[in-house]
Amino acid sequence: MATPRALVIRTAGTNCDQETRHAFEMAGAVTELAHINWLTASDTPLANVQILAIPGGFTYGDDIAAGKILAVELMHSMRRHLQDFIFGGGVIIGICNGFQVLVKTGLLPDACIQPAADRSLTLTHNDSGKFEARWVRLRTPHHVTSIFAEPDEAIELPVAHGEGKLVPRDPQVIKELVENGQVVFRYASPSGGVPVYPDNPNGSVDNIAAISDRSGRVLGLMPHPERYVVGYQHPRWTRENRAGQEGDGLRLFRRAVDYFKKG
């Protein structure tokens, strides 16, 4: 097919849009930035787009709750467009604040915009009670269905959030996510044991750092892959001879692009 096109949404408080656009361009996509006002005013905002990205930041100051206002705006103005985009085979990635937006619309984990009362999980304040900005280790489970990951994969990425703790309404929700292969990344300990703070920086249930919908095409993750696309962005790049290497985060963007190139 033609070169896949990625659209990166931005609004007041978004601060990772340029990095996300650059990552998709490095991965081989034609990438555009679009303000939410342009999208909501358009009759066909997602026409000719294969990948939609909701980047990190503090949209609308995270007033009320992180990502909540943008989630409401999307639910009100773009419900049909988003549902058609997903059911038409589109790929969505929500990073940090974008993950919070996807959860608060209901697009994760169920790929269906729904009222708050029907949502099965949320993202809330870190157990530490403070903003966490640090590098973390991540690992994929044995069973994962997301197009963004491979089984038993280990990567490192930075986190920067105050509300990253994933909490289900019922423990059965986590069991179903695991069984369906929707848990994409978990926080991991360097020792291989059960991660505790700060390896799990927010206290997320079952150490979950990223989930997908059942199709594997809608991904939400708290760590920032766009902040580690080249080796020298790693804090130990000199000691570990990472100069000239790709950063772990780039593979997520490349997999989204390759999904369409191979299809």
Q: Which tokens hold the place of 138?
A: 């991540």
Q: What is the pLDDT of residue 133?
A: 98
pLDDT tens by residue, 201-235: 999 999 999 999 999 999 999 999 999 999 999 99
Phi/psi region, residue 60 (left: phi>0; alpha: psi -120 to 50; beta: rest), is left
Q: What average pLDDT does the segment 164-180 reach?
A: 96
Beta-strand pair 91-95/218-221: parallel
Nearest CA-CA partner of 119 in 163, 167, 78: 167
Q: Which of 81, 161, 224, 234 is catalytic?
A: 224
Q: What is the largest CA-CA distance in the chain?
A: 52
Residue with token string 């609308």: 60
pTM: 0.96
Q: Higher pLDDT residue, 114 or 210? A: 210
Amino acid in the structure at residue 83: Q
Is residue 226 part of the annotated active site? The answer reads: yes
SS3 sequence, 239-259? CCCCCCCECCCHHHHHHHHHH
Residue type, 19: E
- Is 96 a residue of the active site? yes
- The predicted-structure confidence for 70-110, as pLDDT tens digits, reads as follows 999 999 999 999 999 999 999 999 999 999 999 999 999 99
pLDDT band (50, 70, 90) for residue 1: low
115 has pLDDT over 90: no
Question: Is the CB of residue 248 less than 8 Å from the CB of residue 225?
Answer: yes
CB 32 within 8 A of CB 8: yes
Measuring CA to CA, how many Å separate 68 from each of 14, 40, 124, 169, 233? Answer: 13, 17, 11, 18, 30
Give per-residue pLDDT as tens, 155-167: 999 999 999 999 9
Set 19, 156, 163, 226: catalytic member: 226
What digits encode the pLDDT tens for the residues 123-168? 999 999 999 999 999 999 999 999 999 999 999 999 999 999 999 9
Are the CB atoms for 26 and 253 separated by under 8 Å?
A: yes
Q: Which tokens belong to 48? A: 């000719």
Name the 3-class secondary structure at 106.
coil
Of 73, 96, 156, 163, the catalytic one is: 96
Q: Which amino acid is at 217?
A: R
Is 163 an active-site residue? Answer: no
